[in-house]
């Protein structure tokens, strides 16, 4: 009897899960490169990439966080060509909200990996900073929603200024 | 009101006296003369060549001194003659003489036939017809409102007792390729309301090509069948465009005989008549007439007679012949009851048709007549409409279609085989091409929305396949379906019959709305708010996000910009454009595509 009850509860949970917005299979948000070495005054760029977006992407809203604003801050954030609707909103000194949508349906199901944004970082002074992404919503093209795992990127700013380019000697 | 009552009583008395006078006279004549004096119809067996038959016939005639009046060529039937016997021999003796010969199949007197007893021809006042009704075709003939048999506006408080002609005309008004022979007293072929539909015809009384009507009966029947219609003149015919072939075999007194009738029938066959309307008959069985009808490819529509008899007991011919190509017609009245005078018979009468106070053409004029003579032409007209739609149908097929499509009246069960009254629309609706069509009720509403689908297809499909646009299907003819999710659904119906199919699709036909919940205004970039979103197309979705009254690209952009607001603050149902069950970027994309 107890077994039946457990099975019943499990079935109900599965049913409820099914009724809630369907979630696409495993997906991953990561930065490329994952480690950035730079010098103060430079503006390295990092790509935000999504892997496992096999059901297409209709749009996304993500928070980007740089945890050490004294070392690095956000520069320009640009979007790939398929993101024809986009928005960048600076929430505070460490956080920006970025949104993108694909009304032209350019990233359709079948594309497994896609660039979401290119993030420029202002290297301010020597030190470490971590760039992380917190997805709010990422919707697919099949009336479903992704729930991706996300990885951080490490920003390493060296102490010296820009290294002078030394002409090569013969 | 009192004036009307007195008038009706007076008319009834007058009618009764008239009937008594005329009918009495006719009966007296019938009693005195049931066959043409001295005339015998002889039918020889098929003994090979025509020469052999002629030789036998000549020998037999010579032996008793009989002369040939109508040869087989004139009658149009090989091996048949009508002979005049000498005064020294009785018709009964002559019939026995011919019958005793081995080469004679049968012999019989040349029976006399009379038109059915006249019932009346009174003027009547009938109320004006109503307005045109959807699904009907109402002609512009000014006296159409007097023709209750076509469209009954007389008894507005009762069910319609007419043949549903306006509904039938919505499908077909007949074909000029169909010929209806009116074997009768002739036709006023120059009548303003008949001339255009009349063929030349023939006069077998005077044996000339002038089948003029010197009685009125045939002209009245012809007008019922196929008066020129929608010509702003006079009356409407049942079949507007079919042709009338006047065949005069009755004289001005309404008298004919079997020999003339079979000549008229054979002539009609040669002229290509599809339907032969016979508003006449008698109580004497003629083997000759039966054989001619049996061998004819035409459909014979025959009046059942006006004596109030059960013709299963007292047969009235040709209506009571068992020939498969005969339709036997009784007369009904404006209350859909058997007319008081109509013959009946649960075996010998097939159906009833309007036969009282029938307004139609008369030579040079118009007028009312009563009788099964008037009922039969209604059936002839409907047969012409069917034949026009289905030229390949033979007489039996047309007959079966008419008889299987009557308006059933339980009180007619005991007086005719079908238990019904003629309906013109129903048989036509059954011979329409297979064409899928449907409707749904209601077409829009909030979930859960229960929709009743109704098959409106023509051509009598045998099976149905519905798709409701939400993944569900049905094989019922008139299914009901419950929609559980908002959206616009396209519906299809495929019908099947005898290996054929027809398909109908209605895009975005069912509009299922989410239950209404109040929506909030979206914030703008200045920290203020746009006007409240609106539902532009009454589908329950609020596409006009910025509330400016129309859908534009600014709307999906605003939804995109404020997607987190929408997710948090707005009711899902009103903004779930992609039907995902939640608000998200899929809705932005969908709304973008909707602009």
Residues B486-514 pLDDT 10s? 888 999 999 998 888 999 999 999 998 88
Q: How far apart are CA B516 and CA A126, in angstroms?
A: 58
Summarised one tens digit per residue, pLDDT across range B236-287 is: 999 999 999 999 999 999 999 999 999 999 999 999 999 999 999 999 999 9
- Residue in A19, A99, A143 nearest the CB of B580: A143
* A102 contacts in chain B (CB < 8 Å): 585, 589
Q: Which residue of B has its CA nearest to A140?
A: B586
CB A136 within 8 A of CB B564: yes
Q: How far apart are CA B140 and CA B227, in angstroms?
A: 13
pLDDT at B118: 54
Q: How far apart are CA B13 and CA B99, in angstroms?
A: 50
Summarised one tens digit per residue, pLDDT across range B77-105 is: 889 999 999 999 999 999 999 999 999 99
- Residue in A19, A99, A105 nearest the CB of B589: A105
- B143 carries an active-site annotation: no
- B508 carries an active-site annotation: no
Distance of residue B389 Cα from the nearest chain A Cα, in angstroms: 52
Q: Which residue of A has its CA nearest to B563?
A: A61
CB B486 within 8 A of CB B514: yes
Q: Which residue of B has its CA nearest to A89?
A: B561
- Using the Cβ of A90 and the Cβ atoms of chain B, whether some distance falls under 8 Å is answered with no
- Residue A16's pLDDT band (boundaries 50, 70, 90)? very low
- Residue B154's pLDDT band (boundaries 50, 70, 90)? low
- What residues does B497 pair with on adjacent strands? B500
* Average pLDDT, integer, range B573-593: 90
pLDDT value at B206 more than 80: yes
pLDDT value at B126 more than 60: no
What phi and psi, each to the nearest 5 degrees, are found at residue B431? -105, 10
Answer whether the bond into residue B104 is a cis peptide, omega within 30°: no
Angle at B359 between CA B355 and CA B365, to 5 degrees: 140
Summarised one tens digit per residue, pLDDT across range B431-489 is: 888 889 999 999 999 888 999 999 998 888 899 999 999 999 999 999 999 999 888 89
- Residue A7's pLDDT band (boundaries 50, 70, 90)? very low
| B560/A85 touch (CB, cutoff 8 Å), yes or no | yes
| B581/A21 touch (CB, cutoff 8 Å), yes or no | yes
The Cα-based distances of B520 to B533, B555, B585 in angstroms read 7, 14, 19
Centroid of chain to Cα B298: 17
Q: Name the active-site residue from B184, B213, B370, B578.
A: B184
Q: How far apart are CA B469 and CA B219, in angstroms?
A: 58
pLDDT at B500: 86
- What residues does A154 pair with on adjacent strands? A35, A130
- Using the Cβ of A59 and the Cβ atoms of chain B, whether some distance falls under 8 Å is answered with yes
The Cα-based distances of B436 to B427, B428, B443, B454, B501 in angstroms read 18, 16, 18, 11, 8
Q: How far apart are CA B192 and CA B363, in angstroms?
A: 10
pLDDT at A73: 93
Angle at B486 between CA B483 and CA B490, to 5 degrees: 65
Average pLDDT, rounded, for chain B: 88
Angle at B338 between CA B333 and CA B340, to 5 degrees: 90
pLDDT at B346: 97
Length of chain A: 170
Give B453 or A163, the one with higher predicted confidence. Answer: B453
The Cα-based distances of B296 to B91, B104, B310, B394 in angstroms read 28, 22, 27, 11
- Residue in A61, A105, A140 nearest the CB of B563: A61
- Quote the percentage of chain A above a pLDDT of 70: 78
Distance linking the first and last C-alpha atoms of chain B: 68
* Average pLDDT, integer, range B312-324: 97
Summarised one tens digit per residue, pLDDT across range A68-119 is: 999 999 999 999 999 999 999 999 989 999 999 988 878 777 778 889 999 9
Query: ipTM exceeding 0.95?
Result: no
Distance of residue B587 Cα from the nearest chain A Cα, in angstroms: 9
* A144 contacts in chain B (CB < 8 Å): 580
* Average pLDDT, integer, range B400-408: 95
pLDDT value at B127 more than 70: no
Nearest one of A28, A34, A49 to A117, comparing CA atoms:
A49
CB B141 within 8 A of CB B233: yes
* Average pLDDT, integer, range B136-143: 93
pLDDT at A65: 94
Distance of residue A32 Cα from the nearest chain B Cα, in angstroms: 25
- Residue in A101, A141, A144 nearest the CB of B560: A101
pLDDT at A15: 41
- B217 carries an active-site annotation: yes
Summarised one tens digit per residue, pLDDT across range B17-63 is: 444 444 433 443 343 458 999 999 999 988 776 677 888 899 999 99
Q: What is the pTM of this model?
A: 0.61
Three-state DSSP at B411 gives helix
Structure tokens of B241?
Answer: 């465009």
Three-state secondary structure along B93-122?
A: HHHHHHHCCCCEEEEEEEEEEECCCCCCCC
CB B291 within 8 A of CB B108: no
pLDDT at B117: 63
Buried b (16+ CB within 10 A) or exposed e, B476-486: ebebebebeeb
Distance linking the first and last C-alpha atoms of chain A: 88
Q: Is A12 left (phi over 0), alpha (psi -120 to 50) or beta?
A: alpha
* Average pLDDT, integer, range A18-46: 78
pLDDT at A166: 46
């Amino acid at each position: 009897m107890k077994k039946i009850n457990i099975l019943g509860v499990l079935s109900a949970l599965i049913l409820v899960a099914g009724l809630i917005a369907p979630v696409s299979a495993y997906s991953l948000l990561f930065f490329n490169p994952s480690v950035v070495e730079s010098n103060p005054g430079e503006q390295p760029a990092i790509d935000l990439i999504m892997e496992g977006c096999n059901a297409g992407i209709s749009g996304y809203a993500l928070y980007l966080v740089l945890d050490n604003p004294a070392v690095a801050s956000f520069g320009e954030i640009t979007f790939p060509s398929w993101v024809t609707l986009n928005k960048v909103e600076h929430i505070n000194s460490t956080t920006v909200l970025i949104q993108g949508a694909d009304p032209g349906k350019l990233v359709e199901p079948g594309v497994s990996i896609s660039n979401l944004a290119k993030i420029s970082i202002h290297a301010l002074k020597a030190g470490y900073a971590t760039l992380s992404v917190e997805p709010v919503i990422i919707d697919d093209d099949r009336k479903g929603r992704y729930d991706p795992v996300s990885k951080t990127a490490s920003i390493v700013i060296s102490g010296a200024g820009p290294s002078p380019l030394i002409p090569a000697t013969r | 009101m009192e004036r009307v009552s007195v008038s009706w009583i007076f008319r009834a008395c007058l009618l009764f006296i008239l009937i008594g006078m005329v009918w009495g006279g006719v009966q007296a004549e019938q009693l005195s003369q049931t066959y043409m004096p001295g005339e015998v119809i002889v039918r020889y067996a098929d003994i090979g060549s025509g020469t052999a038959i002629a030789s036998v016939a000549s020998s037999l005639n010579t032996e008793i001194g009989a002369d040939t009046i109508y040869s087989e060529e004139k009658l149009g039937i090989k091996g048949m003659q009508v002979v005049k016997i000498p005064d020294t021999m009785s018709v009964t003796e002559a019939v026995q003489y011919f019958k005793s010969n081995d080469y004679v199949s049968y012999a019989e007197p040349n029976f006399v036939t009379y038109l059915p007893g006249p019932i009346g021809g009174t003027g009547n006042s009938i109320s004006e017809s109503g307005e045109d009704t959807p699904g009907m075709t109402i002609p512009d003939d000014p006296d159409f409102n007097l023709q209750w048999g076509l469209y009954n506006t007389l008894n507005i408080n009762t069910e319609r007792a007419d043949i549903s002609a306006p509904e039938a005309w919505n499908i077909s008004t007949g074909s000029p390729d169909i010929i209806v022979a009116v074997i009768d007293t002739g036709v006023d072929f120059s009548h303003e309301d008949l001339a255009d539909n009349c063929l030349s015809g023939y006069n077998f009384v005077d044996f000339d090509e002038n089948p003029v009507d010197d009685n009125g009966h045939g002209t009245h029947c012809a007008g019922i069948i196929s008066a020129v219609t929608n010509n702003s003149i006079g009356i409407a015919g049942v079949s507007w465009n079919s042709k009338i072939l006047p065949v005069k075999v009755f004289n001005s007194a309404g008298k004919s005989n079997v020999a003339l009738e079979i000549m008229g029938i054979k002539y009609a066959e040669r002229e290509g008549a599809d339907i032969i309307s016979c508003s006449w008959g008698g109580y004497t069985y003629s083997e000759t007439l039966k054989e001619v009808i049996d061998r004819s490819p035409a459909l014979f529509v025959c009046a059942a007679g006006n004596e109030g008899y059960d013709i299963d007991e007292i047969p009235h011919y040709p209506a009571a012949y068992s020939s498969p190509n005969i339709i036997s017609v009784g007369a009904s009245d404006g209350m859909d009851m058997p007319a008081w005078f109509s013959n009946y018979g649960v075996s010998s009468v097939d159906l009833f048709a309007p036969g009282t106070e029938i307004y139609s053409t008369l030579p040079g004029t118009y007028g009312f007549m009563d009788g099964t003579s008037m009922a039969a032409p209604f059936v002839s007209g409907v047969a012409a409409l069917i034949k026009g739609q289905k030229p390949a149908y033979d007489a039996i097929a047309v007959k079966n279609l008419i008889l299987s499509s009557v308006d059933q009246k339980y009180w007619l069960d005991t007086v005719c085989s079908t238990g019904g009254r003629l309906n013109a629309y129903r048989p036509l609706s059954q011979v329409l091409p297979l064409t899928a069509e449907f409707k749904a009720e209601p077409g829009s509403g909030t979930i859960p929305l229960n929709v009743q689908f109704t098959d409106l297809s023509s051509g009598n499909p045998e099976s149905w396949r519905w798709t409701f646009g939400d993944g569900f299907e049905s094989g019922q003819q008139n299914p009901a379906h419950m929609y559980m999710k908002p959206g616009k659904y396209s519906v299809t119906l495929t019908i099947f019959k005898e290996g054929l199919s027809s398909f109908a699709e209605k895009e975005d036909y069912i509009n299922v709305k989410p239950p209404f919940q109040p929506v909030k205004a979206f914030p703008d970039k200045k920290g203020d708010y746009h006007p409240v979103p609106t539902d532009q197309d009454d589908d329950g979705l609020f596409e006009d996000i910025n509330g400016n009254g129309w859908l534009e690209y600014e709307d999906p952009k605003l939804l995109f910009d404020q997607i987190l607001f929408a997710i948090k603050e707005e009711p899902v149902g009103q903004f779930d454009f992609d039907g995902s069950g939640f608000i998200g970027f899929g809705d932005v994309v969908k709304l973008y595509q909707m602009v």
